[in-house]
Amino acid sequence: MLARATHGGSAIVAVEVNVSCPNVDDRSRMFAHSETATAQVVAATECGLPRWVKLSPNVPDIAAIAGAALGAGAEALTLTNTLLGLALDIDTGRPVLGAGGGGLSGEGLHPVAVRAVWECRAAFPDAAIIGVGGVASGPAAIEFLMAGADAVQVGTATFRDPRAPWKVLRDVTRWCRKNGTSVDALRAGACSRRAITVPE
């Protein structure tokens, strides 16, 4: 593994363990759909670096999977990977992607990922959480911070604009200044709401 070959002083400070990639032939066997499989993968990836485990939103109880990851040694949770989706070619009626379906990312994923962060923050008050999914603007990042994320990841938006992370940070900074607050204060506010749950 890359992590095993990493020596002290490297720029690599953590490894993201993606147990939830939907781009596989048999999605029913995705590690992140099972508490046991998630724990086994996390245990097997011990490498001397912090492991951030990326989980799937396509489960009935993401907090249970998160608990398995943390219990097996994950130092942080990355919430979340993509939603399972399917696009059809209307001329042929066949799936556009060769494997059939695939992962839906971007703005459509955002509210699902925000809920995952909220639920896992309530379940694990002291866990490190990275919010990811549909972050293309400052307000989207702020939502994650308010939900309980310690950090925010910008992904799909960088395909359209490589400067997207910088723009998101700029917008968050401006919003905080305008509202007389800070990222630390947003995190503190999320901590004070840890006991609140989202109604079914």
Active site residues per annotation? 21
With contact defined as beta carbons under 8 Å apart, do 126 and 92 qualify?
Answer: no
Contacts of 85 (CB under 8 A, 6+ apart): 101, 102, 103, 104
Q: Rounded CA gap, 73 and 82, in Å? A: 23
| Alpha-helical regions (H) of the chain | 35-44, 62-71, 110-123, 138-147, 157-160, 164-178, 183-192
Q: Provide the 8-state DSSP code for 96.
A: S
DSSP string of 111-137? Answer: HHHHHHHHHHHHH-TTSEEEEESS--S
Report the run of H or E that residue 51 belongs to, with start and end. strand 51-54
